Every structure is written in structure tokens, then in C-alpha cells.
Amino acid sequence: MARPLKIAWKHPAEVFYQLYKQEVDARIAKRWQALWMLRRGERLKRVKEMVGVAHVTIQRWVRWYEAGGIEEVARHRLGSGVRPYEAWTPAQEQRLREAVSEGRFRTIGEAMAWCEKELGVAVSYKKLHYWFRRWGYRKKVPRPMAEKADVQAQEGWKKGGYWQPCRRRS
């Protein structure tokens, strides 16, 4: 049999209930609901079934509460607590997008080096590739040359940038 969860409560159950009812973010509301139910004396097994999360998640919320109270529980966000990707400012993003559209980079490695040198931001290969795709750019890939191909037109194409806008499917 599992040992009971002992919590050093600092607030009455009504506080958690009010937070639960007022919260607009469903993920955080689950935390308040779980803490409210635990404060009322519900067993951890029942709370995890009602809230729909693993027992270790609820235990993590309890640790946050014991460490810093309500403020600590509300402070934590998704995943590891890391905010969404904010490597560059909107102005820096605009400079990078302009550089991509001008055809300044042949490889993502070149773009990574440019970001570090010009923007002062270190961006991983994967993340930069993700953003290029999100902005609608993809690698230019050479196609086999037909016998009747226009060589001049193809040479003009080769001199363009490494990334080109994608055609969006409807």
C-alpha cells in the first residue's frame, strides 16, 4: 500500500477552488483542481483519475506549492518551464527573412554563421530549418536535365539563392 501524500498546506481549500474557477488556461486550471481536491482530503489515485494526469505530475505540482506557494504553481508553464522559442527580436527576424529572400545563404550552416555574426544569436540547425520551412522556404533541388532543356534559363536559376518560396497546397 502506498504511503499517504503529506502536504504542508498554506491556504484553505476555498482558495484553490476560486483559482480553479477563475483560471482561463485549462492546463493551469487542472493544477488548481488537483490541489483543491487534495486539500479537501481526496486520495491521490482519485485526483489523478479526475484531473487526467499522472500521479508524478500531481506530485510535482505539490512540490512547487510547498516550495513557493500559489505563485510558484502559477509561474510554471508548459514542458520544462522554458518559454516558447524567442531567439531573436522581431527586427532580427525581419533581417534574417530579408537575407534569406535575397538568396544570401546556400546552406543552413551559412545561415547559422550569419545569425551568430550579424544578429549575435546562436541558432541550432534544426531550429533554423524549422523556421525556414515555417516562413515558406525550401531547398532548391536540381532536376535532371532534358536533352531539349534551355541551358541559359537553368544557369540563371542556379545563380539564385539556396532557398526559394514554396508553393502552398490548397
- Residues 9-56: pLDDT tens digits? 999 999 999 999 998 888 899 999 999 999 999 999 999 999 999 999
Q: Which residue in 105, 81, 117 sits closest to 162, CA to CA?
A: 105
Residue 90, domain member (yes or no) = yes
Asked whether residue 84 carries a pLDDT value surpassing 60, the answer given is no
Angle CA 46–48–51, to nearest 5: 105
Amino acid at 163: W
Same-domain check for residues 69 and 19: yes
What is the full DSSP assignment across 46-109?
A: HHHHHHTS-HHHHHHHHHHHHHHHHHHHHH--STTSPPSP-SS-HHHHHHHHHHHHTT--SSHH
Q: Give pLDDT tens digits for 99-137.
A: 988 888 888 899 999 998 998 888 888 888 888 888 888
Distance CA 132, CA 163 (A): 8
Shared-domain flag, residues 130 and 98? yes
The answer to whether position 59 is within a domain reads yes
**Do both 102 and 67 map to the same domain?**
no
Q: Which residues contact 83 (CB under 8 A, 6 or more apart)?
A: 77
- Phi first, then psi: what are they for 167, rounded to 5°? -90, 120
Q: Which domain holds residue 30?
A: 13-75
145 located within any domain = no
pLDDT of 87 reads 67
Instruction: Label residue 155 by pLDDT band (50, 70, 90).
Output: confident
Domain count, the chain: 2
pTM: 0.48
* Assigned domain for 169 exists: no
